[in-house]
Each structure stands twice: as structure tokens, then as C-alpha cells.
């Protein structure tokens, strides 16, 4: 073993003035500031607001309704049906993509810019940074969903109208109640969206590559849709995140059924917990050798 003795044996007094330990809030503020400065986050929010208006206008302008799709038959003359049609479409891959644009990038962009070594040599622990980034990504996902929902429902209401809705069992639902059910249906997107967000976080941490973090959740979502549509997969279908995208159907049937709804919540929560736990362990342990 080799030892380096400095000639001067001088040491310094250890003054116990530890730095003020920054809380989660400080790290969160920093993440938000970076997010605000990023062009792509603003573009996603803008799309979430404008795209539904555009789609509503286009569909309303069609002479024949998209009959093959759920609620498609009534979409050109019922605003609630149109909202639900857009909801069904958004859950195919649009929502996973919009959330992954931030969640798949939030960790990997530090690799891309080589900035891990910059932020991890300050006074904020790895776990604080992890949670700050996770909260940021989940908050962004929620915001995107809310904007998309409000924009869709409002523009369908205004442009197409708010006549009573014909439910999945052919029952007529009065406008006031229909609005509640449509809002609840959109809200039910939140658990699977958060599951996709956490999955994107895991992929972002694991791959250290923003392109993978953003694209992979979308591809995984599509594969899940495909698998879910196959026959003979009843055993695994409930465990697919994408199955949770359909739990709102139960709200619009007569009588209502909520079994899949509870199942979907649990499955989404499971995906969140497993993804985040794996991401956390990977992140805490990793050696920062790049940058």
C-alpha cells in the first residue's frame, strides 16, 4: 500500500457549520425552471390545447360519422360522444407519447448534456433529485391530461353541442349527467397515464438516452394494445397498462360496472411502484462516469 504524507501536518478546525440542506422544494423549483425554459415542453402543452379543437372541427365537418369507433356513430351531432371518441383515440398512443416527451427525457437529458456530475456535486442528495424529477414528470403528465380533457370537452360542447348522450347500453343520459360522466371518463385516464410516466422514467434512467426514454413507452404501449387485442390472453390482459385505458366504458353502461375500474387502478399503481422502485435503485447505485 502506498501512503502519501503531506509534510505539513497542519489540519483545520472542523467548524460544525453545515450547509443549509436544500429540501425537495428547492430541487423541484430547479426542475420546473429547466422545464419552462425548454421549447418542447411548451410545444406539448400547446398541442394539448389546440389539437382537440382542430380535431373536433374536422370531425364535425365530416358528412359521415366514424361508425366503427366507440361513440363514433353520434360524434358529428353530439358533443359528449365526440369527447369520448377523442378520448378513445388519445389513449391509443397520443397520451403515452405526450407524457413521455418529458418523463422519458427528465433523467436521460442529464446524461445527454453530461450534467449529472454538475448537479450531483451540490448539496442535494440523489434521492431528493430523483423525487424532484419524478414529481415534475408526473405533474406535467397530469397537466397535459387536464388541458387535453378541458380543451376537448369544451370545444365539443361549443362546436358540436350538448344534447343528451346515448350510452353504451342505448340508454339516454341527460346533458348535465353526461358532462359528469365524460369528465370522470377523462379523469380515469390519469392512473394509466401516470403508469406510463413512471415507465418512461425507468426507461430514461436505464437507457440514459432521451430517444429511448421517449419512444420506448409509446412502442411498449402499442405492443400492449396489440397483445390485449389477441385471443387467448385473458390471463395477462388485466395486467396490461393499456387495459386501464378502457375502464371508463363501465361508467357509460347501464347498469354501471366498476370491477375493471378498481382492477385498472390497482394495476396502474402496481406499474408505477415497480417502475419507480427499479428506477430509484438503478439511479442511486449508478456510477457517474460520463460528462
Residues that bind another protein (CB under 8 A): 1-14, 18-22, 26-27, 29-30, 33-34, 37-39, 113-126, 129, 287-289, 291
> Distance between CA atoms of 201 and 234, rounded to whole angstroms?
28
* Identity of the residue, 41 or 145, whose beta carbon is nearer to another protein in the bound complex: 41
Residue 285 CB, nearest approach to another protein (Å): 8
CA-based end-to-end distance of the chain: 31
> Distance between CA atoms of 142 and 237, rounded to whole angstroms?
25
Residue 144 CB, nearest approach to another protein (Å): 21
* Identity of the residue, 2 or 63, whose beta carbon is nearer to another protein in the bound complex: 2
Residue 217 CB, nearest approach to another protein (Å): 24
> Distance between CA atoms of 164 and 80, rounded to whole angstroms?
8
β-bridge partners, 172: 166
> Distance between CA atoms of 24 and 12, rounded to whole angstroms?
32
* Identity of the residue, 25 or 227, whose beta carbon is nearer to another protein in the bound complex: 25
Residue 165 CB, nearest approach to another protein (Å): 45
Residue 209 CB, nearest approach to another protein (Å): 17
Residue 39 CB, nearest approach to another protein (Å): 8
**Helix, strand or coil, per DSSP, at residue 173:** strand
Of 138, 55, 66, 59, the C-alpha closest to 94 is 55
* Identity of the residue, 6 or 63, whose beta carbon is nearer to another protein in the bound complex: 6
Q: Using CB atoms within 10 Å of the CB of residue 41, give its burial: 0 to 12 exposed, 13 to 18 middle, 19+ buried.
A: buried
In angstroms, the Cα distances linking 51 to 56, 80, 278 are: 9, 17, 34
Of 242, 139, 138, the C-alpha closest to 197 is 138
* Identity of the residue, 9 or 235, whose beta carbon is nearer to another protein in the bound complex: 9
Residue 184 CB, nearest approach to another protein (Å): 38
* Identity of the residue, 63 or 121, whose beta carbon is nearer to another protein in the bound complex: 121
The C-alpha cell of 163 is what? Answer: 344534447
Residue 30 CB, nearest approach to another protein (Å): 5
Of 94, 81, 99, 89, the C-alpha closest to 153 is 81
What angle separates helix 126-159 from helix 79-89, to the nearest 10 degrees?
A: 150
* Identity of the residue, 18 or 58, whose beta carbon is nearer to another protein in the bound complex: 18
Reading phi first (left if > 0) and then psi (alpha if -120 to 50, else beta), residue 173 is in beta
* Identity of the residue, 120 or 150, whose beta carbon is nearer to another protein in the bound complex: 120
Amino acid at each position: 500500500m502506498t501512503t502519501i504524507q503531506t509534510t505539513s501536518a497542519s489540519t483545520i478546525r472542523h467548524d460544525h457549520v453545515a450547509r443549509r440542506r436544500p429540501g425537495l422544494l428547492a430541487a423541484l423549483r430547479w426542475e420546473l425552471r429547466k422545464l419552462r425554459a425548454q421549447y418542447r415542453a411548451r410545444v406539448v402543452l400547446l398541442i394539448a390545447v389546440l389539437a382537440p379543437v382542430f380535431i373536433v372541427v374536422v370531425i364535425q365537418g365530416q358528412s359521415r360519422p366514424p361508425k366503427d369507433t366507440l361513440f363514433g356513430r353520434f360524434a358529428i351531432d353530439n358533443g359528449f360522444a365526440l369527447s369520448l371518441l377523442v378520448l378513445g383515440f388519445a389513449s391509443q398512443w397520443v397520451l403515452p407519447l405526450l407524457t413521455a416527451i418529458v418523463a422519458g427525457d427528465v433523467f436521460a437529458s442529464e446524461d445527454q448534456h453530461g450534467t449529472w456530475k454538475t448537479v450531483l456535486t451540490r448539496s442535494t442528495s440523489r434521492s431528493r433529485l430523483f423525487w424532484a424529477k419524478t414529481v415534475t414528470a408526473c405533474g406535467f403528465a397530469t397537466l397535459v391530461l387536464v388541458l387535453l380533457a378541458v380543451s376537448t370537452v369544451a370545444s365539443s360542447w361549443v362546436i358540436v353541442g350538448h344534447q343528451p348522450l346515448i350510452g353504451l347500453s342505448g340508454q339516454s343520459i341527460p346533458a348535465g349527467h353526461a358532462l359528469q360522466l365524460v369528465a370522470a371518463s377523462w379523469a380515469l385516464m390519469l392512473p394509466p397515464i401516470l403508469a406510463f410516466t413512471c415507465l418512461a422514467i425507468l426507461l430514461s434512467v436505464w437507457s440514459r438516452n432521451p430517444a429511448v426514454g421517449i419512444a420506448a413507452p409509446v412502442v411498449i404501449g402499442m405492443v400492449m394494445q396489440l397483445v390485449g387485442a389477441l385471443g387467448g390472453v385473458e390471463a395477462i390482459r388485466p395486467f396490461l397498462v393499456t387495459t386501464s385505458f378502457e375502464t371508463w366504458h363501465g361508467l357509460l353502461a347501464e347498469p354501471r360496472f366498476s370491477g375493471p375500474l378498481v382492477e385498472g387502478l390497482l394495476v396502474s399503481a402496481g406499474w408505477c411502484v415497480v417502475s419507480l422502485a427499479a428506477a430509484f435503485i438503478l439511479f442511486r447505485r449508478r456510477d457517474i462516469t460520463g460528462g
